[in-house]
């Protein structure tokens, strides 16, 4: 077993849209960070939502297999997914507010989420939650645990969301534009937190971003998507210094600071 995830000949369509990702083949190694870039509508979100089986009802996986640690998770039923999702593969969304309940304090949500997956006492879950918040540089963990989501900044909420994902020690984190709702300084902090996950927890990460600069900064490998297809898949050095596709060259040209890479 040398790959954490392998995607084989994956094609997905939406009703009325036709195939929006077409014959995708890719893999993710252990501890690898992959950046997926591409224009709006190129199928990036559809690809990672297919991996974690969170597609809209109007979608259909036409063909393909998704192998996670040698098991074909495309064939998993609801119960198998309940065990896999969050425990082994977790997703971080663009807007963390969308999955934090606005009327429940962070601590209660966090403890419930841990205890839904692990048979431990409330007191133990509180200790675990606070330790992970502190690892995410949310140092005043008591205040965070006592806060409602609206009392936290966007960057703090995203850190809480990452901490909640991390509590389950997933092997793979899928991050869909996790920084695009944040200001530039906070974006950089979150990107660095994600990199430290790999360094400290051996987590593999697929990050979807519009920003090839972010992908270049944090990824080992960059995948470029265009109109539902992978048009480039190589080490970040290769993609940045020797892009094969005109489309990639255009993406790179839009980021002046990468020219001297
Ligand atoms: N729920 C849906 N129902 C129908 N079509 C959809 C749905 N979600 C996405 N699509 C279509 O599928 C295509 C790919 O969308 P997707 O969101 O995967 O692209 P993306 O690269 O992630 O775009 P963005 O960068 O804007 O998020 C687009 O043409 C989009 O309109």
At 53 the pLDDT is 95
148 within ligand 1 shell (Cβ under 6 A): no
The helix/strand/coil state of 1 is: coil
pLDDT of 5 > 70? The answer is yes
Stronger pLDDT, 139 or 173, i.e. the higher one: 173
- The CATH number linked to 19 is 3.40.50.300
Per-residue model confidence as pLDDT tens digits over 38-88: 988 999 999 999 999 999 999 999 999 999 999 999 999 999 998 899 899
- Give the atom of ligand 1 at the shortest distance from the alpha carbon of 46: 18
57 within ligand 1 shell (Cβ under 6 A): no
At 260 the pLDDT is 44
40 within ligand 1 shell (Cβ under 6 A): yes
46 within ligand 1 shell (Cβ under 6 A): yes
Per-residue model confidence as pLDDT tens digits over 235-253: 999 999 999 988 888 888 8
70 lies in some domain: yes
55 within ligand 1 shell (Cβ under 6 A): no
- DSSP annotation of 37 reads E
Range of the domain at 52: 3-98+173-258
**Mean pLDDT taken over the chain:** 90
116 lies in some domain: no
13 within ligand 1 shell (Cβ under 6 A): no
Q: Are 46 and 21 in contact (CB under 8 A)?
A: yes
155 lies in some domain: no
Angle formed by the axes of helices 122-135 and 154-166, nearest 10° = 120
Q: What percent of the chain has pLDDT over 90?
A: 63
236 lies in some domain: yes
Tell me what ipTM this predicted complex has.
0.97
Q: Are 217 and 191 in contact (CB under 8 A)?
A: yes
Tell me the helix, strand and coil percentages in the chain, rounded to 5: 45, 25, 30
Per-residue model confidence as pLDDT tens digits over 25-39: 999 999 999 999 998
Rounded to 5°, angle at Cα 192 from 105 and 210: 90
- Choose the residue to mutate in 24, 37, 46 for probing ligand 1, maximizing ligand atoms within 8 Å of C-beta: 46
DSSP 122-178: HHHHHHHHHHHHHHTT---HHHHHH--GGGS-HHHHHHHHHHHHHTT--SEEEEEST
77 lies in some domain: yes
Q: In whole angstroms, what is the distance from residue 5 CA to residue 83 CA?
A: 17
Cβ-based neighbours of 126, under 8 Å, separated by 6 or more: 107, 111, 145
109 lies in some domain: no
129 lies in some domain: no
Residue 21 alpha carbon to ligand 1 centre in Å: 10
8 lies in some domain: yes
How many domains in the chain? 1
Per-residue model confidence as pLDDT tens digits over 156-208: 998 898 889 888 889 999 999 988 877 787 788 888 888 988 888 889 999 99
Q: In whole angstroms, what is the distance from residue 183 CA to residue 155 CA?
A: 8
Residue 83 alpha carbon to ligand 1 centre in Å: 27
Atom 28 in ligand 1: residue holding the nearest Cα: 41
Strands 33-38 and 204-208: parallel
58 within ligand 1 shell (Cβ under 6 A): yes
Atom 16 in ligand 1: residue holding the nearest Cα: 43
At 261 the pLDDT is 46
Mean pLDDT computed over 211-234: 93
Q: For residue 77, which phi and psi values (nearest 5 degrees)?
A: -90, 180
């Amino acid at each position: 077993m040398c790959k954490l995830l392998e995607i084989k000949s994956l094609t997905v369509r939406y009703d009325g849209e036709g195939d929006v990702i077409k014959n995708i083949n890719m893999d993710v190694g252990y501890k690898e960070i992959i950046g997926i870039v591409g224009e709006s509508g190129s199928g990036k979100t559809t690809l990672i939502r297919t991996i974690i089986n969170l597609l809209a009802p109007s979608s259909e996986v036409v063909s393909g297999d998704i192998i996670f640690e040698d098991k074909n998770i495309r064939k998993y039923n609801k119960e198998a997914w309940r065990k896999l999702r969050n425990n082994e593969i977790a997703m971080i969304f663009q807007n963390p507010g969308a999955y934090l309940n606005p009327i429940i304090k962070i601590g209660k949500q966090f403890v419930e989420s841990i205890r839904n997956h692990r048979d431990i006492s409330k007191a133990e879950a509180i200790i675990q939650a606070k330790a992970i918040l502190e690892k995410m540089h949310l140092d005043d963990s008591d205040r965070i645990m006592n806060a409602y989501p609206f009392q936290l900044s966007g960057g703090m909420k995203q850190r809480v969301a990452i901490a909640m994902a991390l509590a389950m020690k997933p092997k793979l984190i899928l991050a869909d534009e996790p920084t695009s709702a944040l200001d530039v300084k906070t974006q950089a902090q979150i990107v660095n937190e994600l990199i430290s996950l790999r360094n400290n927890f051996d987590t593999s990460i697929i990050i979807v971003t519009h920003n090839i600069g972010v992908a270049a900064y944090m990824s080992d490998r960059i995948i470029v998507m265009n109109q539902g297809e992978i048009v480039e898949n190589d080490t970040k050095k290769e993609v940045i210094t020797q892009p094969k596709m005109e489309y990639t060259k255009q993406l790179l040209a839009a980021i002046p600071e990468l020219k001297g890479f």
